[in-house]
Chains A and B, each alone.
Chain A
């Protein structure tokens, strides 16, 4: 009973965060700002959904499953790397940043 509550809360929490990350993708004005949604909000959302899966399967008689921890670790390792590759190629293609972005002269050409 308690585990059902925990699973529901974690799923709702994770779902909300993934939704907010996706809203950020649509709503924010330029590429660099849009990048903040998927590198952060989605990571936490996925992590809490995976923990929910772990709690659910631990209580459904299938024995303790720990593979979800592995998925979380890989997600935490790969999310910043893919974000880094995206922003690096965006700089390389000289994508326009939003008007009024400070410190644009800090970006050097490569």
Chain B
């Protein structure tokens, strides 16, 4: 895990690239003027806003991050087909459940990404992180954190927990190296 970027003047390299692309997409052009303006924003907005945020782990494996993005996009399509079938089927047959998934990630950014992936994929919506940070005493670190998720149709709890940990959490740990 690394919190500090290689160059001080570029504290968050991927956010800079993201801003650059977003600006060009917003203006729908690649003219010279917009390229210069996009570069300006990509360098100065992270510099200005970086000190306002808690330091978060950097993406250390961009290739793997891209691969994971493709996997999640594929899962979103499959999830939608499954949920559509579940919704159209008889509602009495659904077995809703709340389950706790133990997570090993410690930082806000990877946990947020994990929770969002869980929300977008098959039949699950993430609800809460336990223990809630406010309930901890000052300076106390939680030993084990849980992600509470709501499942639309629970078949096998063990299998679902295993799937979330292998398919979404393990790559995130690899990408952020934490």
- Which residues of chain A have a CB within 8 Å of any CB of chain B? 17, 20-21, 23-24, 27-30, 32-33, 35-37, 39-41, 43-44, 65-67, 69-70, 76-77, 79-81, 83-84, 87-88, 91, 97-98, 100-104, 106-108, 110
Cβ contacts under 8 Å, A27 to chain B: 87, 91
Cβ contacts under 8 Å, B80 to chain A: 17, 40-41, 43-44
Cβ contacts under 8 Å, A35 to chain B: 125, 150
A103 touches B97 (CB 8 A): yes
B35 at the interface (CB under 8 A from A): no
Task: Sort A-B residue pairs by CB-CB distance and give the 7 closest, nearest first.
Answer: A80-B119, A102-B97, A80-B116, A24-B87, A44-B80, A103-B98, A87-B127
- Which residues of chain B have a CB within 8 Å of any CB of chain A? 22, 25-26, 28, 76-77, 79-80, 83-84, 87-88, 91, 94-100, 115-116, 119-120, 123, 125-128, 130, 132, 135, 148, 150, 152, 154
Cβ contacts under 8 Å, B94 to chain A: 28, 33
Contact of B98 (CB < 8 Å), options: A17, A29, A107: A107
**Cα–Cα distance between A28 and B125 once the two chains are bound (Å):** 15
| A66-B25, A83-B119 given; A101·B96 CB < 8 A | yes
B148 touches A67 (CB 8 A): no
Which partner residue on chain B sits nearest A70 by CB separation?
B25
| Given A70-B25, A108-B132, 7 new contacts (CB under 8 A) | A27-B91, A36-B152, A67-B28, A76-B120, A101-B98, A103-B99, A110-B135
Closest CB of chain A to B90's CB: distance in Å? 10
**Cα–Cα distance between A107 and B88 once the two chains are bound (Å):** 28
Cβ contacts under 8 Å, A65 to chain B: 28
Cβ contacts under 8 Å, A28 to chain B: 87, 91, 94
Contact of A41 (CB < 8 Å), options: B22, B84, B132, B148: B84
Closest CB of chain A to B110's CB: distance in Å? 14
Closest CB of chain B to A55's CB: distance in Å? 16
Closest CB of chain A to B7's CB: distance in Å? 26
Closest CB of chain A to B13's CB: distance in Å? 19
Contact of B87 (CB < 8 Å), options: A23, A66, A87, A102: A23
19 A–B contacts from the bound complex (CB under 8 Å): A17-B84, A23-B88, A27-B87, A33-B150, A36-B87, A40-B76, A40-B80, A41-B83, A43-B76, A70-B25, A79-B120, A80-B115, A81-B116, A91-B127, A97-B98, A100-B96, A102-B154, A103-B100, A110-B128
